Amino acid sequence: MPQDVDFYIPLPGRQSPDHARAAVDQLAWPRALGLIRSEAAAERHLRGGYADLASRFYPHATGTDLDLGVDLMSWFFLFDDLFDGPRGERPEETRQLTDAVAAALDGPLHTSAPPIAHGFADIWRRTGEGMTPAWRARSAQHWRSYFAGYVTEAESRHRRTPYDSADAYLSVRRHTIGVQPTVDLAERLGRFEVPHPVFHSAVVSSMLQIAADVNLLLNDIASLEKEELRGEQNNMVMILGREHGWSRTRSVSHMRDEVRVRLEQYLVLESCLPQLGDIYRLGAAEREALERYRDNAVRTVIRGSYDWHRISGRYDAEFALAAGAQGYLEELGNARR
């Protein structure tokens, strides 16, 4: 993220005390599954700092719980890189891969499924451990929306019809930014569940939408140079330019203001949580779960994203382009074996 862009993030930064150990061990899982098969790929992966990201998203997690968070972050970015190449412009090819991965939500995968799908199957199995069927169904729906968003984005690229309004873009990008599955995992790692009716309340839904919006606005600024180099047109900076005729500087300034406004709204929503507990007549344990969701899930996905974007090497243009192209070629090679 450009160092000269200041953001209003009125939430404390936190990090797991086990982050150094997790960082040392972070390559074991993707290597074992064949998601990283060369030293060059390992080096690129380490430069992304995904163990650092997980330790900020899940500061309450240690040991195998934090490892699951790290594996999810590794998987997210390895998966995303597969669409930086030609596949990301071919809707049917995109759909084939996302369907192959999403099949893990419905049962065991065939051995012929690509490594990225087996990686997701392992994460999904571990994520569901100890969680209720209702929670697993809710999380599965979030994953389906995430995968569907990739197909929608590929259709836009294929038609050469980039989004012409911020609202249209947000309606898709809120899913593909991956915030909801990321926040879901915080419940699993903390061994708690937000009561179902409360999760779907207007207050919690608005908090989560703000978390997604802040993440995608930060991400689009950080990835702008990379996306310009590979011809991507669906970036909020570019969309605001097309929609309003703004310069890049004006668009970035607007996005910075949008982050500030959204987080001011977020703090107001947070202040409503005690009353929300009263409205839904929550017991002591349910109120505690809601507080933990605020502190160890929603807040951390906002602040953790900001802190990570400022230090990650993922958005160095040359690094990111090479990672995307190599990821696509390696996955394509695996699929043909």
Task: Indicate which residues carry an active-site annotation.
Answer: 76-77, 80, 84, 157, 173, 219, 223, 226-227, 230, 308-309
Amino acid at 22: A
132 Ramachandran zone, left/alpha/beta (phi>0; psi -120 to 50): beta
Q: Which two tokens stand for residue 89?
A: 């412009």
Task: Report d(CA 227, CA 193) in Å as an integer.
Answer: 37
Angle at 224 between CA 223 and CA 230, to 5 degrees: 90
Alpha helical stretches, state H, the chain: 19-25, 28-32, 39-48, 50-57, 63-81, 91-102, 115-128, 133-159, 166-176, 179-190, 196-199, 202-222, 224-229, 236-244, 248-271, 273-279, 284-293, 299-311, 317-335
Task: Report d(CA 64, CA 119) in Å as an integer.
Answer: 16
Sign of CA pseudo-dihedral 93, 95, 99, 101: positive
